[in-house]
Amino acid sequence: MRPRAKGSRQRPRKKRTGSRHRGTPNAPRRPGRARIAFSAFPEVDIVSDLAPPAHFIKNAIDEDLAAGRYRQVVTRFPPEPNGYLHFGHAKSIVLNFGLARLYGGRCHMRFDDTNPTTESMDYVEAILEAVRWLGYDWGEHLYFASDYFETMYRCAEALIERGLAYVDSLPPEEIRALRGTLTEPGRDSPYRNRSIEENLALFRRMRAGEFPDGAHVLRAKIDMASPNLNLRDPILYRIRHVSHYRTGNAWCLYPTYTYAHPIEDAIEGITHSLCTLEFEDQRPFYEWLLEALAEAGVFSRPLPRQIEFARLNLEYVVLSKRKLIQLVEERHVAGWDDPRLPTLAGGRRRGYTPEGFRLFCERIGVSKADGWIGYEVLEQAMRDHLNEAAERRIAVLDPLELVIDDFPEGHVEWCEAPNHPLDPERGKRRIPFTRRLWIERGDFMETPVKGFHRLTPGATVRLRYGYVIECTGCDKDESGRVVRVHARHFPDSKSGTPGADRYKTKGNCHWLSCDHAIEAEIRHYDRLFRHPRPGTEPGPDGAPRSFLEDLNPESLRCYRAFVEPDAAQVPPETRFQFERHGYFVADRYDHRPETPVFNLTVGLKDTWGKIQR
Ligand code: ATP
Ligand code: MG
């Protein structure tokens, strides 16, 4: 990756303002909404019955349709292929594709690839895969802005011919100096009044490659005294002798983002061009340009309408391609799909689901007020979906041996466990009960603290789906560490057999047969950053420190654990709730039935929030 060329896209800076949301902001819950129906495997019908709640963009579209301004709704999702998609993009994808679906219109998948130096086909493919994974289909409407270079060029000639654009030959520093400030008007360039013929001739020679980089630019001729800096003759074209990943060396003249984007929208007949708030000040130029081109007869009306909404700011992560690229390139994470990264590829590998993202987007809503969303809102959406979607299995993450001394050696007693407590139709599976079992180390305490209701000498507990046992003692090694727990069982207490519920116990523990359990690697992921807004605290010199200083050194812990055989024999990306622990996913790349690898998706409860509080 080469670094992004400065100023090459002329994208405005993001505003960092606003409040912070906890819980479920913006979106009022609609009464009587149907329970979300999900299938266990997301690839089926994941765009289910979630209708976007009312918000100001929907209202604007309703008004436009009622006024007869547009006949159908056409939106677009326009990423630049210079990085992987992140969770913020999910908000834009769900909004754009969701609205198109809601109004029976269409959403275009468009690569905004006008900047030749940072883009690549690898990114294009990764982006398409992520959008598809989220559950959206652009049908035949896949577009590349680079396919419009010729049209964009002709639009520029049309502007020149109408006296609405000129070639400026000032060096970039001087153009900047004449631009003025928020309080001072700009001043005209000495080249502003070139004749149309001279401008046309120069512009054609720029295209023909007769000038080096930076010799000339093409600027719109609007108003150097405008209070809106974006209207002070913005730059439309720059000379750049570089090769583009799709057009190769066909061009040495590249449009700026500001100029290209409205034209892309108009070419495709977009009706509602939804973008983030930092483009609000650009809207007057967006409208000026399309009006001018409509007047020139290049585009017909109705023209697209730009509407801005607040970008997603999510705590404990960074949602900026530049920072994500840095994390990947400097190897702070294992790659673009590292499960700790807030990329869609990372979220997928972590076990997050498309339905969870859709639910999250529905809950955070769409508004015009910039704000921060707590990470727990995303986690709760994932939990809520996984609670319905994921089957239950058993895993012992910190194993300690339990011997049922009165259980015959070599005997296997098969017990039954439901695959899903909320959905009996998903059936049951058999789990083997044997003399030697694995239990969680944390489920035994030789000297119990108050309120501890699990294994301790003399106590009875139920081994979930198995027998009630009474703990009789433990063995220790020389250092005093417990290495084995002993118990006896009540043969008539087997779960599901008549009379078994006579036994009342306070504690309920999960277990696995030592003879059958499969050893697995567990990758325990935690937040990548330990600060909710990475890079905002002051460093030693008073300036904000680097976001890298806020990396959480304990964001990944790997350990060996045991899972039931039924959990191991699954394809990659199968998701389970390991009872009492949380939701896990079989790693997309490393999981094998004989050497299982599970990633922690999210715990059963918001423990992080509790610790923070
Ligand atoms: P970044 O801000 O991470 O550098 P970008 O804006 O350069 O990303 P694009 O590929 O141009 O990334 O974005 C594609 C679309 O996604 C744009 O319409 C943009 O407005 C939207 N988008 C990007 N980031 C967010 C976000 N955090 N929340 C909502 N929408 C976003
Ligand atoms: Mg952006």
61-87 pLDDT per residue, tens: 999 999 999 999 999 999 999 999 999
Model confidence pLDDT, tens digit, residues 558-586: 999 999 999 999 999 999 999 999 999 99
Burial 266-295 (b: 16+ CB within 10 A, else e): bbbbbbbbbbbbebbebbebbebbbebbee
Position 15 confidence tier, pLDDT thresholds 50, 70, 90: very low
pLDDT of the residue at 44: 29
Rounded (10°) angle between helices 87-102 and 56-66: 30
Position 42 confidence tier, pLDDT thresholds 50, 70, 90: very low
Which residue, judged by its Cα, is nearest atom 26 of ligand 1?
Answer: 88
pLDDT of the residue at 43: 32
Strand pairing partners for 430? 416
Residue 234 above 60 pLDDT?
A: yes
pLDDT of the residue at 420: 97
For the whole model, what pTM was predicted?
A: 0.89
Mean pLDDT, residues 435-459 taken together: 95
Mean pLDDT, residues 89-108 taken together: 97
Q: Helix or strand or coil: residue 571? A: coil
Residue 37 above 80 pLDDT?
A: no
Give distance in angstroms: CA of 9 to centre of ligand 2. 10
Position 210 confidence tier, pLDDT thresholds 50, 70, 90: very high
Residue 224 above 80 pLDDT?
A: yes
Position 612 confidence tier, pLDDT thresholds 50, 70, 90: low
Give distance in angstroms: CA of 522 to centre of ligand 1. 33
Residue 20 above 50 pLDDT?
A: no
Residue 331 above 50 pLDDT?
A: yes
52-66, 81-95, 187-201, 518-532: range with lowest mean pLDDT: 52-66
pLDDT of the residue at 445: 96
52-61, 149-158, 453-462: range with lowest mean pLDDT: 52-61
Mean pLDDT, residues 409-431 taken together: 96
Position 605 confidence tier, pLDDT thresholds 50, 70, 90: confident
Mean pLDDT, residues 157-176 taken together: 97
Residue 110 above 60 pLDDT?
A: yes
Q: Is the C-beta atom of 81 inside 6 A of ligand 1? A: no
Q: Report residue 15 as tokens.
A: 């505003």
pLDDT of the residue at 198: 98
Position 610 confidence tier, pLDDT thresholds 50, 70, 90: low
Binding residues for ATP: 80-82, 276, 311-312, 319-321
Residue 47 above 60 pLDDT?
A: no
Model confidence pLDDT, tens digit, residues 348-369: 999 999 999 999 999 999 999 9
Cα angle: 122, vertex 123, 126; to 5 degrees:
90
Residue 38 above 60 pLDDT?
A: no
Q: Is the C-beta atom of 377 inside 6 A of ligand 1? A: no
Asked if 58 is an active-site residue, the reply is no
Residue 172 above 90 pLDDT?
A: yes
Give the CATH number of domain 313-351+517-613; options: 3.40.50.800, 3.30.70.2660, 2.40.240.10, 2.60.40.650.
2.40.240.10
Give distance in angstroms: CA of 281 to centre of ligand 2. 14
Which residue, judged by its Cα, is nearest atom 27 of ligand 1?
Answer: 88
Q: Is the C-beta atom of 534 inside 6 A of ligand 1? A: no
Position 542 confidence tier, pLDDT thresholds 50, 70, 90: confident
From CA 57, how far away is CA 307, in angstroms rounded? 7
Range list for CATH 3.40.50.620 in the chain = 54-310
Mean pLDDT, residues 319-335 taken together: 96
Q: What is the dihedral of CA 394, 398, 404, 409, to 10 degrees?
A: 80
The fraction of the chain above a pLDDT of 90, given in percent, is 86
Q: How far apart are the first and last CA of the chain?
A: 40
Q: Is the C-beta atom of 264 inside 6 A of ligand 1? A: no
Position 9 confidence tier, pLDDT thresholds 50, 70, 90: very low
- Chain-centroid distance, C-alpha 221: 40
Asked if 198 is an active-site residue, the reply is no
Q: Is the C-beta atom of 88 inside 6 A of ligand 1? A: yes
CATH annotation of 395-515: 2.40.240.10
* Nearest CA-CA partner of 322 in 118, 589, 580, 68: 118
Range list for CATH 2.40.240.10 in the chain = 313-351+517-613, 395-515
Which of the 8 DSSP states describes residue 16? -
Q: By the 8 A CB rule, do 78 and 268 touch?
A: no
Residue 186 above 70 pLDDT?
A: yes
Q: Is the peptide bond before 421 cis (omega within 30 degrees of 0)?
A: no
The fraction of the chain above a pLDDT of 70, given in percent, is 90
Burial 559-598 (b: 16+ CB within 10 A, else e): eebbbbbbbbebeebbbbbbbbbbbbbbbbeebeeeebbb
Q: Provide the mean pLDDT of the chain.
A: 91
Asked if 240 is an active-site residue, the reply is no
Mean pLDDT, residues 279-304 taken together: 97
Position 53 confidence tier, pLDDT thresholds 50, 70, 90: low
Position 12 confidence tier, pLDDT thresholds 50, 70, 90: low
Give the CATH number of domain 54-310; options: 3.30.70.370, 3.10.20.30, 3.30.70.270, 3.40.50.620.
3.40.50.620
Which one from 240, 321, 363, 435 is the annotated catalytic residue? 321
Mean pLDDT, residues 469-479 taken together: 97
pLDDT of the residue at 128: 98
